[in-house]
């Protein structure tokens, strides 16, 4: 058994190495990501993704669920969990007569969870917090004008949870946020005009921390049925880091020749991260059925933010750049018979839907997104681990002005490893 244990540990080490090689994959491109901190991630892993993103009140001890850190302490005290996932996103958007289709691959997450005592458990991992990736341009009377943005914020978290009572759990995640968000605007004049080319570039360099708190309580109805209530909270905070602004003048060859203007400000005071409230209700029918509903609310409207196209740091420019964000999600997982001899009976079937109003305010419009998900979990390795696949369809549109509409499909695949790392087998 020692040889098997060694090979098992080496396998996980190999996966972690591959993870860090592929961490900074291409990010899904969307013009909406030019606003604010970009498109926000909802902290969903492979199982959550197939269930519409629900997780606050989900009671599943074989799942890593960082959406509610209190869930960690519900795991088996001998189990080690590891989950890694990636996705491919296909987007198609329409603005008037213009149509565009794009495909990108994304690294989504890598997380682990393990017990550290009879009533304590911990989790750690890396997940995306926000993503920025867009590029568009247009003709102007004397040349071309283009906008380009890339980057995002990555989140490395360490979570700890405790079991206070048979059915009551509390937990917290402490996260380190890091990353760069770059926005560039270029004016490239035609050769017949005696006008220099200019590039205005704004770069946010984020190095910050945040804390999330969670609580979860399960009320048994009888031996086979139970209801779980979960809640999470993240306090509002001032963001830490730097913002750099540079204005370049280009030679006709396209090489940078002169920095016309340069400025650096601290993010603290100019950029806020809104508080977040979440509540979820879950229902379990033994190990056959899990149903959940989540509600998330984030009052971004009161958060300070200096848009990248604005240079002046005033009270007026910092306010009224966002809308309050909310999201409603519902989802379910069904498996016919966990211990059946038939493989198909042990497959998990998942489905969900969600509706969200984004925090982004775009030329006075609100951004709304609706979507539906389906997924399956295929047992592997003596049925303790799962290969999770899901497909998500989404529709994003502005209201009341719906000139730009974006639709997409996200194909996700993840592997959830479930191993008894804290149990030593002996052959007598």
The label of the residue with tokens 């799962």 reads 386
Identify the pLDDT of residue 223: 87
Identify the pLDDT of residue 145: 79
Q: What CATH number corresponds to the domain at position 204?
A: 2.40.160.60
Identify the pLDDT of residue 423: 53
Identify the pLDDT of residue 255: 58
* 427 in a structural domain: no
* 426 in a structural domain: no
Give the 3-state secondary structure of residue 287. coil
Identify the pLDDT of residue 27: 56
Residue 401: which of 358, 347, 362, 360 has the closest Cα? 362
Torsion, Cα 246 180 102 404, to 10 degrees, reads -70
Query: What confidence tens digit (pLDDT) does each residue in 388-427 have?
Result: 999 999 999 998 887 889 999 999 999 999 887 655 544 4
- Structural domain containing residue 38: 2-419
Q: Across-strand partners of 115?
A: 121
Identify the pLDDT of residue 13: 44
Number of domains in the chain: 1
Identify the pLDDT of residue 252: 57
Cα dist from 401 to 1, 46, 95, 138, 366, whole Å: 64, 34, 11, 20, 9
* 129 in a structural domain: yes
* 425 in a structural domain: no
Identify the pLDDT of residue 197: 80
* 346 in a structural domain: yes
Helical (H) or strand (E) element with 13: helix 2-21
Identify the pLDDT of residue 270: 86
Flag residues of the chain having pLDDT under 70.
1-28, 192-195, 251-259, 312, 383, 421-428
Q: Read off the tokens for 273.
A: 């991260």
Identify the pLDDT of residue 254: 54
* 424 in a structural domain: no
Identify the pLDDT of residue 10: 46
Radius of gyration of the chain (CA): 24
Identify the pLDDT of residue 343: 87
């Amino acid at each position: 058994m020692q040889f098997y244990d060694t090979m098992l540990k080496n396998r996980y080490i190999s996966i972690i190495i591959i993870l860090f090689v592929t961490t900074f994959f291409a990010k899904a491109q969307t013009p909406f990501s030019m606003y604010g901190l970009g498109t926000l991630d909802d902290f969903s892993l492979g199982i959550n993704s197939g269930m519409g993103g629900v997780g606050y009140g989900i009671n599943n001890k074989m799942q890593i669920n960082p959406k509610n850190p209190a869930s960690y302490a519900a795991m088996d005290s001998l189990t080690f969990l590891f989950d890694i996932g990636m996705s491919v996103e296909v987007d198609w958007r329409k603005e008037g007569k213009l149509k565009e289709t794009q495909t990108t691959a994304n690294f989504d997450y890598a997380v682990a969870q393990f017990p550290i005592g009879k009533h304590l458990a911990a989790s750690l991992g890396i997940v995306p917090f926000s993503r920025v990736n867009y590029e568009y341009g247009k003709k102007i009377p004397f040349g071309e004008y283009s906008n380009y943005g890339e980057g995002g914020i990555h989140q490395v978290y360490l979570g700890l949870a405790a079991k206070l009572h048979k059915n009551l759990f509390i937990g917290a995640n402490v996260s380190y946020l890091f990353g760069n968000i770059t926005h560039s605007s270029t004016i490239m004049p035609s050769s017949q005009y005696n006008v220099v080319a200019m590039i205005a570039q704004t770069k946010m360099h984020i190095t910050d921390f945040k804390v999330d708190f969670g609580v979860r309580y399960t009320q048994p109805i009888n031996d086979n049925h139970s209801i779980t209530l979960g809640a999470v909270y993240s306090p509002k905070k001032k963001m830490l880091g730097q913002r750099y602004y540079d204005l370049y003048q280009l030679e006709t060859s396209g090489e940078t020749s002169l920095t016309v203007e340069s400025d650096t400000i601290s993010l603290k005071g100019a950029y806020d991260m809104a508080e977040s409230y979440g509540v979820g209700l879950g229902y379990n029918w033994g190990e056959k059925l899990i149903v959940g509903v989540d509600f998330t609310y984030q009052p971004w409207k009161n958060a300070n933010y200096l848009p990248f196209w604005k240079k002046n740091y005033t009270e007026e420019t910092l306010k009224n750049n966002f809308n309050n964000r909310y999201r409603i999600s519902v989802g379910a997982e069904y498996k016919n018979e966990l211990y059946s001899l038939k493989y198909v009976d042990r497959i998990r079937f998942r489905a969900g839907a969600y509706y969200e109003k984004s925090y982004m305010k775009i030329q006075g419009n609100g951004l709304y997104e609706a979507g539906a998900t389906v997924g399956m979990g295929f047992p592997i390795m003596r049925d303790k681990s799962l290969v999770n696949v899901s497909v998500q369809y989404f529709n994003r549109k502005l209201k009341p002005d719906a000139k730009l509409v974006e639709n997409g499909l996200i194909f996700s695949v993840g592997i959830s490893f479930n191993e008894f790392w804290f149990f030593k087998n002996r052959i007598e």
